[in-house]
Amino acid sequence: MTTMNALREDASRRLRRETVSAAAICIVLVTGGALTATENLPALNGTTSTSAFLLGTVMGLCAVAAVATLKSIVDLRRALSDDRELRRLHAKENDELQAHMEREVARTFIQLMPVLAVIAIFVGALVSLEAMAAVAATLVFLSVALLIVKASYKIRLKGDIDGGEE
């Protein structure tokens, strides 16, 4: 039964984290919508089309993140309400085939990232120089964030391995 308690505790912790993420995403979406509706969107160098393009990009990314986060919240709530669903969620998340597929998808996406970056920068250049620079800066920011997350996982894993050997 301690295993079920551990699974339940982990699911509760993840649910809290996902709920905070959903709230943050909603704040960004509402703020962006309010800025657009009230036409108070700050323009870059006086060009509102650039600002509208950038806001549309951010709103689209946030909408995708919101859908993924809400799906995760629904799955976690369902799992916390029923032990069978909790076990099913745990089995699904720890399935080796699923993990392998996710690694392959991530690897393929990382390999396609330079091509996607060039396409995104080109599309931004069609709008304006500022939009192109903003897209390029966003790609650099996301790449650095990816490296930081990867490094933090490696550090945490190394700490777990070193801590387990004592």
Residue 151 has pLDDT above 60, yes or no: yes
- Report pTM: 0.64
Q: Which residues pair with 47 in a beta bridge?
A: 44
Do 75 and 136 lie in one domain? The reply is: no
**Dihedral pair phi/psi, residue 41, rounded to 5°:** -70, 120
CA distance 78 to 72: 10
State which of 94, 110, 137 marks the end of a domain. Answer: 94
Find the range with the poorest average confidence among 55-59, 81-85, 112-116, 149-153. 55-59
Do 58 and 101 lie in one domain? The reply is: no
pLDDT band at 22, cuts 50/70/90? very high
DSSP string of 100-143?
A: HHHHHHHHHHHHHHHHHHHHHHHHHHHH-HHHHHHHHHHHHHHH
Do 103 and 163 lie in one domain? The reply is: yes
Do 13 and 89 lie in one domain? The reply is: yes
Q: How many domains is the chain built from? A: 2
Do 3 and 60 lie in one domain? The reply is: yes
Across 38-63, average pLDDT:
71
Structural element, H or E, at residue 22: helix 2-37
pLDDT band at 13, cuts 50/70/90? very high
State which of 45, 68, 94 marks the end of a domain. Answer: 94
- Which pLDDT belongs to residue 163? 66
Nearest to 53 by CA among 142, 126, 139, 143: 126
- Tell me the CA distances in angstroms from 89 to 7, 83, 107, 152, one per residue in order: 10, 10, 24, 26
Do 15 and 66 lie in one domain? The reply is: yes
pLDDT band at 81, cuts 50/70/90? very high
- Which pLDDT belongs to residue 47? 66
Do 87 and 108 lie in one domain? The reply is: no
- Which pLDDT belongs to residue 164? 59
- Which pLDDT belongs to residue 57? 77
Do 65 and 101 lie in one domain? The reply is: no
Residue 42 has pLDDT above 60, yes or no: yes
Do 2 and 60 lie in one domain? The reply is: yes
- Which pLDDT belongs to residue 16? 95
Do 7 and 51 lie in one domain? The reply is: yes
State which of 78, 94, 110 marks the end of a domain. Answer: 94
Q: How many residues does the chain have?
A: 166
164 Cβ neighbours under 8 A, 6+ residues apart? none
Do 108 and 153 lie in one domain? The reply is: yes
- Which pLDDT belongs to residue 19? 95
- Which pLDDT belongs to residue 41? 66
Do 79 and 114 lie in one domain? The reply is: no
DSSP string of 87-109?
A: HHHHHHHT-HHHHHHHHHHHHHH
CA distance 150 to 166: 25
14 Cβ neighbours under 8 A, 6+ residues apart? 72, 76
146 lies in which domain range? 95-166
